[in-house]
Structure 1
Amino acid sequence: MDWLLIVVLLLFGALFVVAEVLLIPGTTIVGLAGFIMLTVGIWLSYRDLGTSAGHVLLGSATVLVAAVVWIGLRPQSVNRFALTTKNTARVDDVRRPDVAPGQLGRTLSALRPAGTVLFGDERREATTLGEFVGAGATVQVLRIEQNRIVVAAA
Protein backbone atom coordinates (compact mmCIF):
# COMPACT_ATOMS: atom_id res chain seq x y z
CA MET A 1 0.00 0.00 0.00
CA ASP A 2 2.90 2.37 0.71
CA TRP A 3 4.33 2.01 -2.78
CA LEU A 4 0.87 2.69 -4.33
CA LEU A 5 0.58 6.01 -2.47
CA ILE A 6 4.11 6.95 -3.52
CA VAL A 7 3.42 6.10 -7.18
CA VAL A 8 0.17 8.09 -7.14
CA LEU A 9 1.85 11.12 -5.55
CA LEU A 10 4.76 11.03 -7.99
CA LEU A 11 2.50 10.50 -11.00
CA PHE A 12 0.09 13.30 -10.14
CA GLY A 13 2.93 15.58 -9.08
CA ALA A 14 4.66 15.06 -12.43
CA LEU A 15 1.38 15.58 -14.32
CA PHE A 16 0.71 18.83 -12.44
CA VAL A 17 4.24 20.10 -13.19
CA VAL A 18 3.81 19.17 -16.88
CA ALA A 19 0.45 20.97 -16.96
CA GLU A 20 2.01 24.02 -15.30
CA VAL A 21 4.90 24.28 -17.73
CA LEU A 22 3.14 23.34 -20.97
CA LEU A 23 -0.51 24.30 -20.54
CA ILE A 24 -0.87 26.86 -17.73
CA PRO A 25 1.99 29.34 -18.01
CA GLY A 26 3.07 31.28 -14.94
CA THR A 27 3.52 30.38 -11.32
CA THR A 28 0.14 29.10 -10.23
CA ILE A 29 -1.28 26.77 -7.65
CA VAL A 30 -1.08 23.84 -10.10
CA GLY A 31 2.72 23.96 -10.31
CA LEU A 32 3.04 24.47 -6.57
CA ALA A 33 0.73 21.53 -5.89
CA GLY A 34 2.73 19.35 -8.30
CA PHE A 35 6.02 20.29 -6.62
CA ILE A 36 4.57 19.53 -3.17
CA MET A 37 3.25 16.15 -4.36
CA LEU A 38 6.63 15.26 -5.84
CA THR A 39 8.40 16.31 -2.64
CA VAL A 40 6.06 14.28 -0.41
CA GLY A 41 6.29 11.26 -2.73
CA ILE A 42 10.09 11.34 -2.66
CA TRP A 43 10.16 11.84 1.11
CA LEU A 44 7.77 8.87 1.57
CA SER A 45 9.92 6.73 -0.72
CA TYR A 46 12.99 7.45 1.42
CA ARG A 47 11.02 6.71 4.58
CA ASP A 48 9.11 3.60 3.47
CA LEU A 49 11.11 2.02 0.64
CA GLY A 50 14.65 2.76 1.76
CA THR A 51 17.56 4.93 0.73
CA SER A 52 18.36 3.23 -2.59
CA ALA A 53 14.74 3.42 -3.81
CA GLY A 54 14.59 7.06 -2.61
CA HIS A 55 17.73 7.91 -4.58
CA VAL A 56 16.33 6.28 -7.73
CA LEU A 57 12.99 8.12 -7.46
CA LEU A 58 14.70 11.42 -6.61
CA GLY A 59 16.97 11.15 -9.65
CA SER A 60 14.11 10.10 -11.91
CA ALA A 61 11.88 12.93 -10.73
CA THR A 62 14.69 15.47 -11.12
CA VAL A 63 15.47 14.33 -14.66
CA LEU A 64 11.77 14.29 -15.59
CA VAL A 65 11.06 17.77 -14.23
CA ALA A 66 14.23 19.19 -15.80
CA ALA A 67 13.30 17.68 -19.18
CA VAL A 68 9.75 19.00 -19.00
CA VAL A 69 10.95 22.50 -18.09
CA TRP A 70 13.60 22.44 -20.82
CA ILE A 71 11.14 21.22 -23.48
CA GLY A 72 8.39 23.55 -22.31
CA LEU A 73 10.51 26.70 -22.32
CA ARG A 74 12.12 26.22 -25.73
CA PRO A 75 11.07 28.88 -28.27
CA GLN A 76 9.54 26.24 -30.56
CA SER A 77 7.28 25.01 -27.76
CA VAL A 78 6.31 28.50 -26.68
CA ASN A 79 5.45 29.53 -30.26
CA ARG A 80 2.96 26.67 -30.59
CA PHE A 81 0.87 28.16 -27.80
CA ALA A 82 1.62 31.87 -28.31
CA LEU A 83 -0.43 34.23 -30.42
CA THR A 84 1.77 35.08 -33.38
CA THR A 85 -0.72 36.67 -35.82
CA LYS A 86 -1.30 40.39 -35.99
CA ASN A 87 -4.72 41.98 -35.94
CA THR A 88 -4.72 44.47 -38.81
CA ALA A 89 -8.43 45.25 -38.73
CA ARG A 90 -9.53 48.82 -38.30
CA VAL A 91 -12.65 50.69 -37.31
CA ASP A 92 -13.96 53.69 -39.20
CA ASP A 93 -13.64 56.82 -37.10
CA VAL A 94 -17.10 58.23 -36.38
CA ARG A 95 -15.71 61.71 -35.78
CA ARG A 96 -14.85 62.04 -39.46
CA PRO A 97 -18.16 61.17 -41.12
CA ASP A 98 -18.47 60.41 -44.80
CA VAL A 99 -21.74 62.36 -44.86
CA ALA A 100 -21.52 66.14 -45.06
CA PRO A 101 -24.07 68.78 -44.02
CA GLY A 102 -26.32 69.68 -46.93
CA GLN A 103 -26.06 66.22 -48.55
CA LEU A 104 -29.31 64.66 -49.76
CA GLY A 105 -30.41 61.11 -49.03
CA ARG A 106 -33.46 58.84 -49.22
CA THR A 107 -35.07 57.23 -46.18
CA LEU A 108 -35.21 53.45 -46.21
CA SER A 109 -37.38 53.29 -43.11
CA ALA A 110 -39.68 55.80 -41.48
CA LEU A 111 -37.82 58.26 -39.25
CA ARG A 112 -39.79 58.42 -35.98
CA PRO A 113 -37.53 60.32 -35.14
CA ALA A 114 -34.69 57.85 -35.92
CA GLY A 115 -34.29 55.43 -38.78
CA THR A 116 -32.18 54.36 -41.75
CA VAL A 117 -31.21 56.71 -44.57
CA LEU A 118 -29.43 55.84 -47.82
CA PHE A 119 -26.70 58.30 -48.84
CA GLY A 120 -25.42 57.20 -52.24
CA ASP A 121 -24.65 53.50 -51.66
CA GLU A 122 -24.10 53.80 -47.89
CA ARG A 123 -26.78 53.03 -45.29
CA ARG A 124 -26.60 55.20 -42.17
CA GLU A 125 -28.67 55.66 -39.05
CA ALA A 126 -30.06 59.19 -38.85
CA THR A 127 -32.34 61.23 -36.60
CA THR A 128 -34.69 64.13 -37.13
CA LEU A 129 -35.29 67.09 -34.84
CA GLY A 130 -38.51 65.48 -33.68
CA GLU A 131 -40.69 65.33 -36.77
CA PHE A 132 -41.72 62.09 -38.41
CA VAL A 133 -40.60 61.41 -41.99
CA GLY A 134 -42.07 58.54 -44.00
CA ALA A 135 -40.11 55.84 -45.80
CA GLY A 136 -38.90 56.75 -49.29
CA ALA A 137 -38.78 60.50 -48.60
CA THR A 138 -35.86 62.72 -49.53
CA VAL A 139 -34.00 64.20 -46.57
CA GLN A 140 -31.17 66.69 -46.20
CA VAL A 141 -28.37 66.51 -43.61
CA LEU A 142 -28.60 69.46 -41.21
CA ARG A 143 -25.57 68.72 -39.04
CA ILE A 144 -23.39 66.01 -37.56
CA GLU A 145 -23.51 65.79 -33.72
CA GLN A 146 -20.89 63.49 -32.17
CA ASN A 147 -22.00 60.19 -33.69
CA ARG A 148 -25.48 61.25 -34.88
CA ILE A 149 -26.56 62.43 -38.31
CA VAL A 150 -29.39 64.96 -37.95
CA VAL A 151 -31.65 65.28 -41.02
CA ALA A 152 -34.82 67.09 -42.05
CA ALA A 153 -37.28 66.51 -44.87
CA ALA A 154 -36.07 68.20 -48.05
Structure 2
Amino acid sequence: MEVLIIIALILAGLLLFIVEVFLIPGISIAGVASAICLLYANYYAFDELGLTAGFITLAASAIGCIGVTAWFMHSKTVDKLSLKKSLDYKIDPLKGLDINVGDEGVAVTRLALVGNADINGHIIEVRSADGLIDEKTPVYVERMIEGAVIVRKLK
Protein backbone atom coordinates (compact mmCIF):
# COMPACT_ATOMS: atom_id res chain seq x y z
CA MET A 1 0.00 0.00 0.00
CA GLU A 2 2.89 2.36 0.80
CA VAL A 3 4.34 1.87 -2.66
CA LEU A 4 1.03 2.85 -4.29
CA ILE A 5 0.85 5.99 -2.18
CA ILE A 6 4.39 6.93 -3.20
CA ILE A 7 3.69 6.26 -6.88
CA ALA A 8 0.48 8.30 -6.73
CA LEU A 9 2.28 11.21 -5.04
CA ILE A 10 5.09 11.17 -7.61
CA LEU A 11 2.65 11.04 -10.54
CA ALA A 12 0.59 13.87 -9.05
CA GLY A 13 3.78 15.86 -8.45
CA LEU A 14 4.95 15.35 -12.03
CA LEU A 15 1.56 16.31 -13.44
CA LEU A 16 1.49 19.47 -11.36
CA PHE A 17 5.11 20.11 -12.37
CA ILE A 18 4.08 20.06 -16.05
CA VAL A 19 1.20 22.43 -15.34
CA GLU A 20 3.50 24.78 -13.43
CA VAL A 21 6.35 24.90 -15.91
CA PHE A 22 4.48 24.91 -19.21
CA LEU A 23 0.94 26.14 -18.62
CA ILE A 24 1.03 28.51 -15.64
CA PRO A 25 4.54 30.01 -15.48
CA GLY A 26 5.67 31.61 -12.27
CA ILE A 27 5.28 30.47 -8.72
CA SER A 28 1.66 29.38 -8.39
CA ILE A 29 -0.45 26.88 -6.51
CA ALA A 30 0.46 24.16 -9.03
CA GLY A 31 4.18 24.64 -8.39
CA VAL A 32 3.79 24.63 -4.63
CA ALA A 33 1.52 21.57 -4.77
CA SER A 34 4.01 19.80 -7.05
CA ALA A 35 6.85 20.46 -4.65
CA ILE A 36 4.74 19.30 -1.70
CA CYS A 37 3.74 16.06 -3.47
CA LEU A 38 7.29 15.22 -4.53
CA LEU A 39 8.83 16.12 -1.18
CA TYR A 40 6.19 14.22 0.77
CA ALA A 41 6.63 11.15 -1.47
CA ASN A 42 10.35 11.19 -0.68
CA TYR A 43 9.77 11.78 3.03
CA TYR A 44 7.18 8.99 3.15
CA ALA A 45 9.51 6.58 1.37
CA PHE A 46 12.40 7.33 3.73
CA ASP A 47 10.17 7.18 6.81
CA GLU A 48 8.04 4.12 6.00
CA LEU A 49 10.20 1.98 3.71
CA GLY A 50 13.76 2.77 4.75
CA LEU A 51 16.91 4.26 3.35
CA THR A 52 17.17 2.19 0.16
CA ALA A 53 13.56 2.83 -0.89
CA GLY A 54 13.99 6.50 -0.01
CA PHE A 55 16.96 6.91 -2.32
CA ILE A 56 15.16 4.99 -5.07
CA THR A 57 12.17 7.33 -4.67
CA LEU A 58 14.46 10.37 -4.70
CA ALA A 59 16.12 9.16 -7.91
CA ALA A 60 12.72 8.37 -9.46
CA SER A 61 11.47 11.86 -8.62
CA ALA A 62 14.54 13.58 -10.10
CA ILE A 63 14.58 11.38 -13.21
CA GLY A 64 10.83 11.86 -13.57
CA CYS A 65 11.09 15.68 -13.49
CA ILE A 66 13.97 15.67 -15.99
CA GLY A 67 12.26 13.07 -18.20
CA VAL A 68 8.90 14.85 -18.21
CA THR A 69 10.60 18.15 -19.07
CA ALA A 70 12.61 16.59 -21.90
CA TRP A 71 9.58 14.71 -23.26
CA PHE A 72 7.37 17.79 -23.11
CA MET A 73 10.01 19.98 -24.79
CA HIS A 74 10.43 17.51 -27.67
CA SER A 75 6.73 16.98 -28.19
CA LYS A 76 4.71 19.14 -30.55
CA THR A 77 2.78 20.60 -27.60
CA VAL A 78 5.38 23.30 -27.01
CA ASP A 79 5.25 24.28 -30.69
CA LYS A 80 1.50 24.75 -30.43
CA LEU A 81 1.91 27.00 -27.39
CA SER A 82 4.82 29.07 -28.70
CA LEU A 83 4.59 32.43 -30.41
CA LYS A 84 5.72 32.27 -34.03
CA LYS A 85 5.10 35.83 -35.19
CA SER A 86 7.59 38.65 -35.00
CA LEU A 87 6.90 42.34 -34.90
CA ASP A 88 8.54 44.40 -37.60
CA TYR A 89 6.75 47.68 -36.93
CA LYS A 90 8.91 50.78 -36.67
CA ILE A 91 7.74 54.00 -35.11
CA ASP A 92 8.11 57.11 -37.26
CA PRO A 93 8.43 60.04 -34.85
CA LEU A 94 8.05 62.55 -37.70
CA LYS A 95 4.77 61.13 -39.05
CA GLY A 96 2.23 63.88 -39.50
CA LEU A 97 4.74 66.69 -38.95
CA ASP A 98 5.49 69.10 -41.77
CA ILE A 99 9.24 69.38 -41.31
CA ASN A 100 11.53 69.68 -44.30
CA VAL A 101 15.20 70.28 -44.99
CA GLY A 102 15.94 73.99 -44.61
CA ASP A 103 13.23 74.70 -42.01
CA GLU A 104 14.33 76.97 -39.19
CA GLY A 105 13.72 76.69 -35.48
CA VAL A 106 15.14 77.26 -32.01
CA ALA A 107 16.95 74.84 -29.70
CA VAL A 108 14.69 74.31 -26.69
CA THR A 109 17.34 72.41 -24.72
CA ARG A 110 21.09 72.34 -24.99
CA LEU A 111 21.97 70.07 -27.88
CA ALA A 112 24.79 67.92 -26.55
CA LEU A 113 24.61 66.07 -29.82
CA VAL A 114 20.97 65.18 -29.00
CA GLY A 115 18.28 67.44 -27.59
CA ASN A 116 14.97 69.12 -28.34
CA ALA A 117 14.24 71.88 -30.78
CA ASP A 118 11.12 73.85 -31.74
CA ILE A 119 10.76 73.59 -35.50
CA ASN A 120 7.59 74.86 -37.22
CA GLY A 121 5.80 74.92 -33.87
CA HIS A 122 6.64 71.28 -33.08
CA ILE A 123 9.05 70.38 -30.28
CA ILE A 124 10.95 67.34 -31.52
CA GLU A 125 14.12 65.46 -30.70
CA VAL A 126 16.99 66.50 -32.96
CA ARG A 127 20.66 65.72 -33.40
CA SER A 128 23.33 68.35 -33.73
CA ALA A 129 25.71 68.29 -36.68
CA ASP A 130 27.80 71.10 -35.09
CA GLY A 131 28.51 69.49 -31.72
CA LEU A 132 27.28 71.41 -28.68
CA ILE A 133 24.55 73.97 -29.32
CA ASP A 134 23.22 76.07 -26.43
CA GLU A 135 19.51 76.42 -25.76
CA LYS A 136 17.62 79.27 -27.47
CA THR A 137 20.11 79.17 -30.35
CA PRO A 138 18.55 79.46 -33.82
CA VAL A 139 19.00 76.26 -35.84
CA TYR A 140 18.00 74.94 -39.25
CA VAL A 141 17.30 71.43 -40.52
CA GLU A 142 20.30 70.24 -42.48
CA ARG A 143 19.06 66.72 -43.30
CA MET A 144 16.65 64.01 -42.19
CA ILE A 145 17.81 60.39 -41.89
CA GLU A 146 15.51 57.50 -40.90
CA GLY A 147 13.24 59.59 -38.69
CA ALA A 148 16.11 61.59 -37.17
CA VAL A 149 16.40 65.33 -37.76
CA ILE A 150 19.95 66.70 -38.05
CA VAL A 151 20.31 70.43 -37.33
CA ARG A 152 23.05 73.06 -37.52
CA LYS A 153 23.40 76.55 -36.03
CA LEU A 154 21.74 79.21 -38.10
CA LYS A 155 24.28 81.79 -39.23
TM-score class, shorter-chain normalisation, is 0.3 to 0.5
Structure having the higher strand fraction is 2
Larger Rg: 1
Question: TM-score with structure 1 length normalisation?
Answer: 0.47
